[in-house]
Amino acid sequence: MVNITIKDLTFSYNSHKILDDLNIVVGDAEVLSLVGPNGSGKTTLIKCIDRILKPWGSILLDGKEIEEMSRQEVARIIGYVPQSSSAPLATSVFDTVLMGRRPHIRWQVSDSDLDKVAQVLELLHLDDLGLRDFSSLSGGQKQKVLIARALAQEPAILLLDEPTSNLDMKHQLEVMEIISHLVKEKKISVVMAIHDLNLASRFSDKLVMLKNGQVYAAGEPKHLLTEANISNVYGIKAMVMNAVGRPYIVPLRSLDGELA
C-alpha cells in the first residue's frame, strides 16, 4: 500500500496557469476521483503525478519525494492509463499487455510474466482477443487493453484518465467493478479523472472537485455532490437524488453563463 501526498502543487503551460496551489492526500486502498468541467486541470494533475509533466511543489509517495525516485522505481509503483493510445501499436493484444511487465523484467520474460498477462486478460474478458493486432481493435477494446497493460504492471497506485470514455454502459460498469474489486483485494490506490459524476459517485471513496485549476471542494460523494456545488462548478441546474445509497445526478438545464 502506498499513499500520495500532493503539496502546494502548481503547473503552467508557458504563462498560463493550469493548476494552482493544490493540496491533496490519497489514502491507502482508496479510489479518489477528480471531477470538474473541461479545462479544470484533471488530466494535467494525472500527468504530473506520473511525471509526464513537471510541476512546482511536491508529490510524495509514502513520504518520499517522487522527483528523488528513479523512473524505474516509479514505474514499479505507478500504473498509468491515458484516455487513448497516443500512437498505433503494431503488436498483438497479448504483447501490448506484456509491456506492462517491463519494470519487473530483468533479462528475459519469465513464465511468471506470461501467466500474469494471461490472468489479466481473463480478468478483463480479453483472452479471446490475445492474438489480435491492437491497431485493429475498436476504441472501447483498446481502452480495456490499456487498462489491462497497467494492471499487468501490478502497481500500488493506478492513475486512470477517463477510463470509461470509450466504453458502452455495460463495459463501463464492468471496468469500474473490476477496479473497485482490485482496490479491495490488492489494496491499491486509484486516482481517476472522470466526467461521469454518477459513476464517480458510485465507485469513489473520495472526490476532489476542481474548478479553474484549484480545489473547489474535497470529500465523500454524499457531501460533495450537492445541487449548489454542481451549479457553481459546472454552471448547470441539476437534481440530486439518492440511489443505491449514493447521490445520483440528473442534469436539468444549462445556466447559460449566469454563474462564473
As a whole number of angstroms, the distance between CA 180 and CA 190 comes to: 9
pLDDT digits (tens, 9 = 90+) for 80-91: 998 866 555 668
Inter-residue contact 238 to 216 (CB < 8 Å): no
Q: What does the angle CA 186 – CA 140 – CA 76 come to, to the nearest 5 degrees?
A: 35
Please indicate, yes or no, if residue 259 is contained in any of the structural domains: no
H helix runs in the chain, sequence order: 42-49, 71-77, 93-98, 111-123, 139-152, 169-186, 197-203, 221-224, 227-234
Shortest CA distance to 44 belongs to which of 59, 62, 26?
A: 59
- Alpha-carbon dihedral angle through residues 171, 177, 182, 184, given to the nearest 10 degrees: 170
Checking if the pLDDT of 50 tops 60, the result is yes
Q: What are phi and psi of 196, to 5 degrees?
A: -75, 105
Tell me, what amino acid is at 216? Y
Looking at residue 113, its pLDDT comes to: 87
DSSP lists the bridge partners of residue 25 as: 5
| Predicted pLDDT of residue 86 | 55
Q: Which amino acid is at 259?
A: L
CA 130/CA 96 separation, integer angstroms: 9
Q: Which domain holds residue 50?
A: 4-254
Residue 154 lies in a domain: yes
35 in a structural domain: yes
Q: What is the CATH classification number for the domain harbouring 148?
A: 3.40.50.300
Query: Is 109 among the domain residues?
Result: yes
- Residue 79 domain-assigned (yes or no): yes
Q: Is the pLDDT reported for residue 2 higher than 70? A: yes
Q: Say what the pLDDT of residue 259 is.
A: 46
Specify if 49 maps to a domain.
yes
pLDDT above 90 as % of the chain: 61
**Are the CB atoms for 126 and 100 separated by under 8 Å?**
no
Q: Is residue 130 part of a domain?
A: yes
Instruction: Tell me the per-residue pLDDT of 103-146, one tens digit each, with 9 for 90 and over.
Output: 777 778 888 889 999 999 998 889 899 999 998 888 888 888 99
260 inside domain: no
Q: Is the pLDDT of residue 243 over 50?
A: yes
Taken in order 241, 243, 249, 251, is the CA torsion positive or negative?
negative
**Overall number of domains in the chain:** 1
